[in-house]
Structure 1
Amino acid sequence: MRTSTSVRGRRSHQKSRRGCQQCKLRKVKCGEEKPSCTNCTRHGVACSFAPSVQTEGSSSHHDRSPSCNQATTPQDNSRTMLSGSPGSDGQSQAAAAPDLAIGDLELLHHFTTSTAYTFSRHPVLQSFWRVEVPQIGFTAPYTLRAILALSALHLANLRPDKSQCYIAQANIHHDAALKLATPEMANITPENSAPLFLFSALSTFIWCAKPLKLGNFLLWENHEIAGWLVLIRGTGTILDFADETLKNGPLASMFSARARNRMCEPVPPHQILENLRHLVMQDVPEAHMAQIYSSVIDEMNRPFIMCLDRNLRLETSDVFIWLLRVPHEFLLLLKDYQPLAMVIVGYFCVLLHQLEWMWCMKGWSTHLLSQIYNQLSPAYRAWIRWPIEQIGFLPPR
């Protein structure tokens, strides 16, 4: 047993507030050596002190993200030459030219050649993500930043040895995108409706692609509704405001492809959901609360019929549309960990499981259902037996 005399305090050191951005991200002390600090040189990453990483008139780390594939040193930076031949004119032009953001170009290339194919198995939608989405991104920096952030997270998934570097890139881009997009959300116009809609969709994938952690229930965390969910529910406002503009504008191919795959005819109630409704109604004395729970169950009926009865492949829109349609009061019940609300989300996990062919959705259904199981009392755990069996989750003994 340790005594108080054996505990040694931390060695004090002078704190630095002028360290490079890379050391701040890694939360290590920076030596502040110029033009590249010792830590960055040793790890082979681009230091924000280096001329190739800083931007003209700004030292903000949001302006440039270093490549995770290059070991940049002060002698080997990525400057562009405006003239192919040496000479005084060419040298002066090169000195005045801005640097190429190699890391960002790498991310954009990866998005168009790889990531764009992972959002859908529909050829038209794959083409949409590969061609139209970057084009829309060039008109709105927040959408372009979200594209780069998602591409970085995809690379983090594909290259685990460099995952921390790519995750850092993703965080830089998405944080900058949120700052740019938030004011736009308060002023939706026909001109910005398409990039804002895409930004909301991309942000959904970004949040789902981030590493799983205990306490994160996807839709809520620490008695708060998830920030990404608040954001994408704003997508409903965008659709209400600019429905025809979106469907006839740059997003036309996306909406038309989805419309061809959607079931338009009325569908009968799914028996599994009717069994769930029967359980919930017996446990809710208030008519108002019963109406909330019943409407939430109704919104799951169509995708349940599609995947379980008709064996149709679900797209992300078929699943996440549920999150746009559930009443806000239901989300308030979730953030308070109300058992009936969590039981219903347990059934939603079956739909999430249908999306696990996507790299950013892998593991979410089991992660979410296991945490719900741990929160519920033994009596309510019996209510989610069917989702547990469908997903293949093995509860702890």
Structure 2
Amino acid sequence: MPPRRSHKKSRAGCRRCKARKIKCDEIHPRCGNCTKHGVACDFEHPSFVDALVPVDTPRPTTSTSNCDSPSTSTLPPTPSVDSSTPLPLYRNPEPLPLTSNTKSSRMMELKLLHHYTTITCETLAISSPVSEKIWRDTVPNLAFTGANFLADALLAVSALHLRSHTPQDQELIRASHSYMASTLSEYGASLSKGITESNAEALFLTAALIAFQSTASRIFTRDDSGDLKERSDGYALPLSWFHSFQGVKAVVASSWQWLRHSGIVVPIIESQPALNLDLSGDNLNFFGHLLAGVEDEIVGYDDDPASQVLTRQAYQHAVAVLDWAHKIPHTGAPLVFLATVSRRFVELLEIRRPRALAILASYFGLLKVLDSVWWLRGVARREVMGIVSLFDPDDEEWWPRLQWPLRIALYESDNIPPDIWGADWAVEKALLDQASQNGGFVSHIELLSQMFSAMQNMPQTMPDALDVIAYQNAINRSRALDRQMLLENETHSSH
């Protein structure tokens, strides 16, 4: 028998290659695999790659759900969250230097700041000239007052915007990752110290920019549905979008006592169309078919009555938001979906319940009309095709319900005729005017603020009133805040 052929194992390979279980060529300062894929290598920046490694968290045993890569889903701790609410935990990333050349670093910052104030700031708001002015003038001025994490967030988003034009620019890639890593580190540290009147505005704006970054980063993770065939792990749901946008909501819920008087935050919030949801289930709405058979599903999957209630509410509320946004998508209303769905709905996505996936596909179909926005470009097609790939074409129950998002996502332009879209654009302005008469987004938050206090006096045996509230998750966070404050008061009194 001939001797066995010797094989040299890669024992000093980079952590990314080890995680992917592939052979590393161990070339410094950047191995061949990381160079090929245009990603960071810990040979080059050890602290940065180590910072982006997620802490081990339990995954659902009933699912093979995949989250985004750590570079797009690393989020700071969310303020004042109920301990029973699971959230992804990541090590706080450390900022990495852009370059050893101080002059080059300064020139990069000037380039990014100029691009932000002249171009990027105009792309963050949708159909809101007032918000555009705030993002262009007021926000940078606030960042210059000492809110370093806000300044870094501006530069990170600006770098990502520039990178959308030149995806292979290594300097922009490093700048985007570096400034966002610095943002997350300082932002997380500030949240851990507590939100105050002096930092509430900066934290809100930073949370919004983190949400923008999380969304826009998705365009660099894969090119189109064709790339999915080359991925051994299949399609990965963009769960980081939900976590980042709900992080914005959490900051608002935790600091509304100060934000309600802000000349910066209130105009941004008020520029959003007022929620006008029909949660009764009595009317025939466009996405009502997504709720067909929901009772049988709930009984079949969940034995616990409390869990059944949460699941039913999660589906009903998500579909109600779809129906509302479907009528006024050009206003940016579909983006509200990410912040308003309940934590239970996100959990249903994580375990890949077919109904939750079908609802998500319809949501991404709504984003087709916003395809001209750079950080949403191609989202509808890419995500709808990815979700559809998780279904069997012979599935007679769910395949017909995917036809609308498929038809919309594959439409050749974002100017979709009303007969294909399923809504009359002529009534869009009338609906907006009617909603504004009932109060804007700030009015909704004010109402919720009053309900937060009232709910604390309700006995636990009373019927759950959350099915009539748009912000299920925000209310949970508010309850945790109130419990914490009550505990602190009791502790203080005892002393």
Same fold (TM over 0.5): yes
- 1-side partners of 2:289 and 2:401: how far apart? 10
State which of 275, 291, 305 in structure 1 corresponds to 2:289. Answer: 275
Question: In structure 1, what is the equivalent of residue 252 of structure 2?
Answer: 239
Deviations 1:192-223 (A, max 9, x none): 11111111111111122221335564532xxx
CA contact (8 A) 1:65 1:101 kept: no
The letter of the residue matching 2:409 is I
Question: In structure 1, what is the equivalent of residue 181 of structure 2?
Answer: 175
Question: Following superposition of structure 1 onto structure 2, how do residues 20-169 of structure 1 map, counting pairs within 5 Å?
Answer: 27=41, 62=95, 64-66=97-99, 101-120=106-125, 121-138=127-144, 139-160=146-167, 162=169, 164-169=170-175
Pairwise CA distance, 1:265:
6.5
The CA RMSD over aligned residues, in Å, is: 3.8
Question: In structure 1, what is the equivalent of residue 361 of structure 2?
Answer: 346
The letter of the residue matching 1:258 is S
CA contact (8 A) 1:125 1:254 kept: yes
With over 3 angstroms needed to count, the CA separation of the structure-2 counterparts of 1:17 and 1:140, relative to structure 1, is farther
- 2-side partners of 1:293 and 1:253: how far apart? 30
CA contact (8 A) 2:94 2:185 kept: no
- 1-side partners of 2:359 and 2:165: how far apart? 33
CA contact (8 A) 1:65 1:104 kept: no
CA contact (8 A) 1:125 1:253 kept: no
Question: In structure 1, what is the equivalent of residue 199 of structure 2?
Answer: 192
Question: In structure 2, what is the equivalent of residue 35 of structure 1?
Answer: none
Deviations 1:32-58 (A, max 9, x none): xxxxxxxxxxxxxxxxxxxxxxxxxxx
- 2-side partners of 1:150 and 1:387: how far apart? 29
Question: In structure 1, what is the equivalent of residue 324 of structure 2?
Answer: 302
Question: In structure 2, what is the equivalent of residue 36 of structure 1?
Answer: none
With over 3 angstroms needed to count, the CA separation of the structure-2 counterparts of 1:217 and 1:135, relative to structure 1, is farther
CA contact (8 A) 2:287 2:319 kept: yes
State which of 226, 230, 238 in structure 2 corresponds to 1:219. Answer: 238
Q: Greater Rg, structure 1 or structure 2?
A: 1
Question: In structure 1, what is the equivalent of residue 264 of structure 2?
Answer: 251
Question: In structure 2, what is the equivalent of residue 290 of structure 1?
Answer: 312
Question: In structure 2, what is the equivalent of residue 314 of structure 1?
Answer: 331
Q: Which has the higher contact order (CA 8 A, sep 6+)?
A: 2
CA contact (8 A) 1:147 1:202 kept: yes
CA contact (8 A) 2:275 2:324 kept: no
SS at match of 2:287: helix
Deviations 1:161-181 (A, max 9, x none): 52x321211001101111111
With over 3 angstroms needed to count, the CA separation of the structure-2 counterparts of 1:62 and 1:183, relative to structure 1, is closer
- 1-side partners of 2:112 and 2:94: how far apart? 17
- 2-side partners of 1:175 and 1:197: how far apart? 18
Deviations 1:325-380 (A, max 9, x none): 21111111111112111111011112222322211111112111111111123312
Pairwise CA distance, 1:244:
5.3
- 2-side partners of 1:328 and 1:266: how far apart? 18
Identity %: 21
State which of 381, 387, 397 in structure 1 corresponds to 2:405. Answer: 387
Deviates more, 1:7-16 or 1:120-129: 7-16
- 2-side partners of 1:278 and 1:376: how far apart? 18
Question: In structure 2, what is the equivalent of residue 201 of structure 1?
Answer: 208
TM-score (norm 1): 0.68
Pairwise CA distance, 1:247:
4.2
- 2-side partners of 1:200 and 1:296: how far apart? 23
CA contact (8 A) 1:314 1:354 kept: no
Pairwise CA distance, 1:291:
3.0
CA contact (8 A) 2:121 2:136 kept: yes
The letter of the residue matching 2:321 is E
Pairwise CA distance, 1:148:
0.5
